[in-house]
Structure 1
Amino acid sequence: MQRLPISEVRTDLEKKFSRNHVTILVGETGSGKSTQVPQFILALNNGKEKIAVTQPRRVAAINLAKRVADETKTTLGQDVGYTVRFQNMSSAKTKIKYLTDGMLLRELLLRTNLDQYTTIILDEAHERTIITDLLMGFLKTLLQRRKNLRLIVMSATIDADKFSRFFDGAEVLYVQGRRFPVQRYYLSKPVEDIVDATVRTAIQIHASEPMGDILAFLAGQEDIDKAVDMLNDMIQSLPKGVPDLIALPLYAALPPQQQLKVFEKVAGNKRKIIIATNIAETSLTISGVRYVIDGGTHKVKVWRHDLGLDSLLTMPISKSNAAQRMGRAGREAAGKCYRLYTETDYYGLKSQSEPEIERCDVAFPILTLKLAGVSDVLGWNWLERPSKAAIMSALMQLYALKALDDEGQITEVGKKMAVLPLPPNLSAVLLDAHQKGIADPVLDIVSCLSIENLIMNPHPDKRDEVYEKRLPFITASGGMGDLVVLRNYVQHYRRLPSSSDRKEWCKEVYISYRAMSNVEKVSINQSEQDIRNQLESYLKAESANIHSEDKSVQLGPSVLNEQIIQCFLTGFLANTALSLPGKMYRTIAGGQTINIHPSSSVFGKNEDAIMYTEYIFTTKAYARNVSPIDLEWLQRIAPHFLSRRTAGHD
């Protein structure tokens, strides 16, 4: 502990923390702020403090809690613990609790004064997630009521002035991190295949550089899984005498048990290469990393008001992201950073990434504010106020979901949606399914939609062969579309007797085995409930007045499938479209022309109307996860929405 840079200024920090109601702490990467500041606070009042430390990501919350429990020589879950979605390793006696920002927000909504804590630490505030921004607004109000509450906002980059102004001129403290020199290298010209370039760079480092682990950044799960597979194939042909290379993926959708493998030390003459998303940029310290490969992109969600849904786009990172990535190589010793883009491209990057509140759907934060009794959502304590168009879009979406009434007040349905750990549209789907007594099959599909890159695109040479393998599952859907096909895949996977059978089947139909495993398990260890039971427990807890037992009758396959689609229609009303000539469709919500994606089981068919859960744009606009719908369903489920939307579009 004493080797960490923040320990050198401990006395000064403790004085400032004791004196200040709110403190902004800018701690450079490697300073030790995430593990040490809570311990400093605990020592201020002879161990009588109760401290909450938020993290944007669950893997960081879990790993940091384990680290601090180890440093303080306590059993995890007692004095030091953590709370993440579906997993609580803490008790009433816990003094330092790491938790995701979403879990603290949930606690704040349940216990508005947060009396259980004496200090709140918002860590990694520079990431500017929507939930972190929401927490800052709520805490600003709470601090006026609770004069004995201490707030520390910690950031790894210079957002300090904005945070200080928001909290009425709060004092800003700076702590330098340990920085070993890191040499950086650029490409002379851009590359077309970033995955191939990453793999070749990793092999080159492994063959020519001294020992030390490699951390490579790629945009998303599909690229990461592809790179790991390529590396594992190439490892087999490495010449004798070259050390072993262990390739490990790291992304948010990976089961936590597999995420934690990247922190384990490897014995003997071996080198780890971790292929990660930006989950590894901050918060996480992966010991032993000496080399960083920066692919220069990341995936971000961008809300399209005209379409009423998010688009997941691969975009260039910012200079701040690039600095964070490079810093991973200089935490413990001198290192090297290989940027797989040109120096000219680097200087063309934005200084900072846009905060989520400026580019994402704000339906969830608006619903949260309504649940908290805030009527003037536009005039609320926003750190960064969303645009009027974004707020109006969110209000209309929540009205369509029946979460808000005609006066804009939250409904009983809206209150239940607000406390489910899902986006509002999926919460609406689950609540409707629960009421109909068909939660189980709907939860299968919701689990699939919550996992990235479950269905993979086969190589063109394999396309016909893979389609033949998938055809029985498509036929079994009875023409009800991709959501029912997803459920058919899950049911078949579940019936297979062994993991080897499941792997082989996934390989045949080009379904990611890793992703399908995660559909079944999102828990931290194998003894935990699967995702369906976990979400079911939330439904039962938050929907106690809904009794579905009497409705859980046996339905024929075609009737059940229709009811499943109608459940999803309650959550995806805005994602509906009517047919046009030429097998094209016009969206009901915005009048946009859209096409069914060629990968869909509905592709090439003439349907009167469709619903979709995903929008992508390549050469043109495509709908994915498509299901045909009956126009009568729309009229019956949401006349309040359809009448407003179709007025003037006849």
Structure 2
Amino acid sequence: MDEQLPITKIETQLVEHLKRNQITILVGETGSGKSTQVPQIIYRLDRNERIAITQPRRVAAINLARRVAEETKTELGQEVGYTVRFQNKSSSQTRIKFLTDGMLLRELLVRSNLRSYSTIIIDEAHERTVVTDLLLGFLKQLTASPSSSNPRIIIMSATLDAERFSKFFNGAQVLYVEGRKFPVARFYLDQPVQDIVDAVVRAVVQINIGEESGDILAFLSGQEDIDQAVDMLNKIKPSMPKGVPEMVVFPLYAALAPMLQMKVFDRIGANTRKIILATNIAETSLTIPGVRYVIDSGIHKVKVWRHDLGLDSLLTVPIAKANAAQRLGRAGREAPGKCFRLYTEKDYTELNNQSEPEIERTDVAFPILTLKSAGVADIMGWSWLERPTKGAIISAMTQLYALKALDDSGNITPLGTRMAIFPLPPHLSVVLLTAQEAGIADAVLDIVSCLSIENLLMNPRPDQRDQVNESRLPFVVAAGGMGDLIVLRNYILHYKSLKNADEKKAWCKEVFINARAMSNVEDIRNQLARYLKNTPTNEGSAPNGELNDRIVECFLKGYVNNTALAVTGRTFKTIATGQSINIHPSSSVFGTKSSAIMYTEYIYTTKAYARNVTPIDLDAIQKIAPHFLGRRSAGSS
């Protein structure tokens, strides 16, 4: 145990409180040591304790488990372990287990309760992910009837929005612990910047030249900006002045392969400086040793669901003050630090105090399917920390009905029960289960795994577009006009046929596919295949018809809500909501005519666009989901 961490100052108080109370709200600023030390404090009280501690992100769960195993001088996977989406490093001997919140939710659904644990710690509760909110609701129900068999509950947050959690758990006491140990100086810009990637790169270079030793952590909004900044810094490195530290540049974002994520913790040589370019994955829990300088772009990406239109958009928006505080705190963990905010002080004062909870801006079809799977009949009356709007719930129920996950009475169907097992959006779960029954799961797994990764296909610059389109053309032609999903599978088949990593990397560069993301596809595929093996099936022999036709049919069952009919020219109207939509110029079927389309993604720039488009006909929709099409026709008449 690290006795210099602030959490150790309240250890006696914490222990006495835990002995008297079943539920505790613990607020500790960044650097307090709560994530690593609280489970150790509890374990020292009783070696028979079985402690689950959740994290919103897999890389944090893995790194924290490794650190606690080192501090307790135990082998990782024995007394201390972890379970995340693609890995399980735990055993029957594990007493302190770090999990992603999604994995703990899955355990709850499979076992109906969490009484296999004596203590459950929900860490980073302030991030308010949908899954965290669901866990909090289930835990409140679990503790509603006092019982000696109920687990101890600890809700840990890094921000001061603790009263909401206390009120939700019927006035549970709040304990506070101080945060970082070292001061962090703050610097603002005089004027806003136009190009945030260029501004981050310039700031990195200036810090590397002008500041003493210490690593740099820079926050950008997403993978595309990070990859661009990584390339720019790697090109600048050879021209840096003599005598300054050599820059060793690392990207860090959720879609990065796990092994590459963990590289940010690697030791580097003398006279070198780590440059970590990260999304908000590095805001909390994840402590990267050596960081003394933080560059805060002031923005992040969030998904916003418009339930009235049935459309999801990925938007780049300003962070909240709570996010800014978390980012700043990364610089003061081991020594005095500096935080360079790439926005004006006036802009900072206008930021919201807290980010909008995910439950208020996301499609709630998955949460509702989860609740239905857990036997919850009254969705509106369930123990929501923050209840979605009535419109959002009705929209989600309609989606699930169209997918046949719910019946006419709103009860979960056998198909819905099987769907709830998968760590996927409901529509992709339907696609996989349909493919399994059709005997073509292998082919569909390739495509679903690709769709589970953001920014797999990169957008070339205007001067590169013709060259990239030419290199992609053979794969488009081979799809025979059947659309982007089949083109995507052609890419995967070719990638698998290449003999070694160098060939794969070179080919990815040629067709402008993100090589880092592509390397993660196989991990996702293997995990989803394991879920399929554990799911009841009526799988028969391979289909007699054309494979590509059967693939499209499987996807149509999952994406029946994402269908649109041609109106005039190349404009379509969605069947579900009547929203006007166009085929995105990047699609392989852009510029072609079709009576109807299916798409897996919607974006809005200058107008509404469908991406990952497949041409279909009305008869296909009528065959797959007559109940859905009939209700829509009646509603529009």
Name the TM tier (shorter chain): over 0.9
Deviations 1:284-339 (A, max 9, x none): 11111010011111111111113323211111100110111011111111111111
> In the alignment, which residue of structure 2 is the partner of 1:597?
584
Alpha-carbon separation, structure 2, partners of 1:350 and 1:239? 41
| Structure 1 position 633 matched with structure 2 position 633 | no
Distance between the aligned counterparts of 2:583 and 2:55, measured in 1? 39
Equivalent residue for 1:527?
none
Aligned match of 1:51: 51
1:11 matched to 2:12: yes
Aligned-partner Cα distance in 2 for 1:261–1:554: 47
Give the distance between the partners of 2:496 and 2:146, measured in 1 at CA: 51
The residue type equivalent to 1:143 in the other structure is: T
CA distance in 2, matches of 1:626, 1:113: 41
**Alignment-derived partner of residue 541 in structure 2:** 551
List per-residue Cα deviations over 1:499-548 (Å, max 9, x = no partner).
Answer: 22222221121111111112223xxxxxxxxx3232111112022xx142
- 2:611 pairs with 1:621: no
SS at 1:144 equivalent: coil
For 1:347 and 1:178, how far apart are their aligned partners in 2?
Answer: 23
State the match for 2:116 in structure 1. 116
Q: 1:248-298, CA deviations, whole angstroms, 9 ceiling, x for partnerless residues?
A: 000011111111111122121110000000000001111110100111111
Q: Secondary structure at the match of 1:291?
A: strand
Secondary structure of 1:551's match?
A: coil
Partner of 2:292: 290
Alignment of 1:497-576 (within 5 A): 497-521=499-523, 531-543=524-536, 546-548=537-539, 550-553=540-543, 559-576=546-563
Give the 3-state SS of the residue equivalent to 1:427 in structure 2. helix
User: What displacement does 1:490 show?
Assistant: 0.9
The CA deviation string for residues 185-237 of structure 1, in whole angstroms up to 9 with x for no partner, is 11111111111111111011001110100000000011111111111111122
**Who is 1:72 aligned against?**
72
Q: Secondary structure of 1:542's match?
A: coil
Task: Give the superposition deviation at 1:554.
Answer: 6.5
User: Partners in 1 of 2:374 and 2:253 — Cα distance?
Assistant: 32
CA distance in 1, matches of 2:542, 2:472: 30
- For the 8 Å contact 1:440–1:532, the answer to whether it is kept is no
SS of 1:419's partner is: coil
Match of 1:494 in 2: 496
Q: Would you say 1:331 and 2:333 are equivalent positions?
A: yes
Q: Percent identity?
A: 67
- The structure-2 alpha-carbon separation of the partners of 1:554 and 1:288, relative to structure 1 and needing over 3 Å to count, comes to farther
Across the aligned residues of Structure 1 and Structure 2, the Cα RMSD in angstroms comes to 1.2
Amino acid at match of 2:533: K
How far the C-alpha of 1:108 sits from its partner, in A, is: 1.1
- Residues 182 and 332 in structure 2, CA contact (< 8 A), matched pair in contact too: yes
Q: Distance in 2 between matches of 1:89 and 1:395?
A: 36
- TM-score w.r.t. length of structure 2: 0.98
| Kept after mapping to 1: 8 A contact 2:438/2:543 | no
Q: Deviations over 1:557-603 (max 9, x none)?
A: xx211111111111111111100112110111110111111111111
- Deviation of residue 240 (structure 1)? 2.4
Match of residue 403, structure 2, among 395, 401, 404: 401
Report the Cα distance in structure 2 between the residues aligned to 1:630 and 1:363, rounded to whole angstroms: 26
Which amino acid in the other structure matches residue 534 of structure 2? A
Supply the AA of the counterpart residue of 1:632: D
Distance 1:191 1:629 in 2: 45
CA distance in 1, matches of 2:264, 2:217: 10
Counterpart amino acid of 1:541?
N
Alignment of 1:83-102 (within 5 A): 83-102=83-102
Name the structure 1 match of 2:630: 643
Whether the aligned pair in 1 keeps the contact of 2:602 and 2:610 (CA below 8 Å) is: yes
Counterpart position of 2:28: 27
Q: Which runs of 5+ in 2 are unaligned?
A: none
**Pair 1:648–1:378, CA change in 2 (3 A):** closer
Tell me, yes or no, if the aligned pair for 2:557 and 2:624 is still in contact at 8 Å.
yes
Q: Where has structure 1 moved over 3 Å in runs of 4 or more?
A: none
Question: For residues 480 and 215 of structure 1, what CA distance do their matches in structure 2 show?
Answer: 44
Deviation, 1:147, is 2.3
Aligned residues of 1:18 and 1:44 also touching (Cα < 8 A): no
Preserved CA contact (<8 Å) 2:308 2:391? no
The answer on whether the counterparts of 1:307 and 1:575 sit within 8 Å (CA) in structure 2 is no
- TM-score w.r.t. length of structure 1: 0.96
Amino acid at match of 1:172: V
Whether the 8 Å contact between 1:182 and 1:326 is mirrored in structure 2 is yes
Task: Return the letter of the residue paired with 2:104.
Answer: L
Counterparts of residues 305-454 of structure 1 (less than 5 Å): 305-454=307-456
| Separation in 2, partners of 1:215, 1:177 | 19
